[in-house]
Structure 1
Amino acid sequence: MKSNTIILTNDAKRIVKRLLNHWKHKFEVAEMDEKLSIFMPDATVNLSPQQDSLVVDLETEREDYAQLEHIILAHLNRMAQQEFSVEWQHQA
């Protein structure tokens, strides 16, 4: 399952850096140009900070991907110290 969302924010780079620092102790992380990746045991999260948004791509084989989407958004909210409301787009 692949899903993605776009979060409108001017602080995308700061939020992504905070999230990577938070999760690098638990998961493998990588920075490649303008894309940052978090490699979980059963999912990969790619974060692409833009000037006025953050593009979040999730790829997983988990059946409960909605729970994973919720966890990712909750952590992004915490790193940003604000609540984002997003809609995830899904692809099989």
Structure 2
Amino acid sequence: MTLTAHVPTGHASRYLQQLCKHWGHKFETDFDAQQGRIALPMGAVRMTAAPEALTVTIEPKGDADVEQFKQVVVAHLDRFAFREGPLTFDWQ
């Protein structure tokens, strides 16, 4: 299963890099200004930054709690986007 959300923001690259740096202390990460990947115990998080949106894809492992996985990713990105207010995630 793969879930993807397109998150409208003008700061996609900043949030992508902040999240990868934040989790990079504990988990394997790989990122640049446009793309990022984080290997979490629940599964992989992949992100792509565009000028007007951040695309976030989660790939939960078979035993992962998908709702909790989404909540963890959303909570962390919202923390970095506190000046913008809560971000809008349209998971599909």
TM-score range, shorter chain: 0.7 to 0.9
TM-score by length of 1: 0.87
Q: For this pair of structures, how many residues does the alignment match?
A: 89
CA RMSD of aligned residues (A): 1.5
Q: What is the aligned-residue identity percentage?
A: 29
Question: In the aligned structure 1, how far is the partner of 2:66 from the partner of 2:12?
Answer: 23
Question: In the aligned structure 1, how far is the partner of 2:86 from the partner of 2:30?
Answer: 26
Unaligned runs of 5+ in 2: none
Q: Structure 1 residue 41: deviation in Å?
A: 2.4
Larger strand fraction of residues: 1
Unaligned runs of 5+ in 1: none
RCO comparison, higher one (Cα < 8 Å, 6+): 1
Paired residues for 1:1-92 under 5 Å: 1-31=1-31, 34-61=34-61, 62-81=63-82, 82-89=85-92
Which runs of at least 4 in structure 1 moved beyond 3 Å after TM superposition?
none
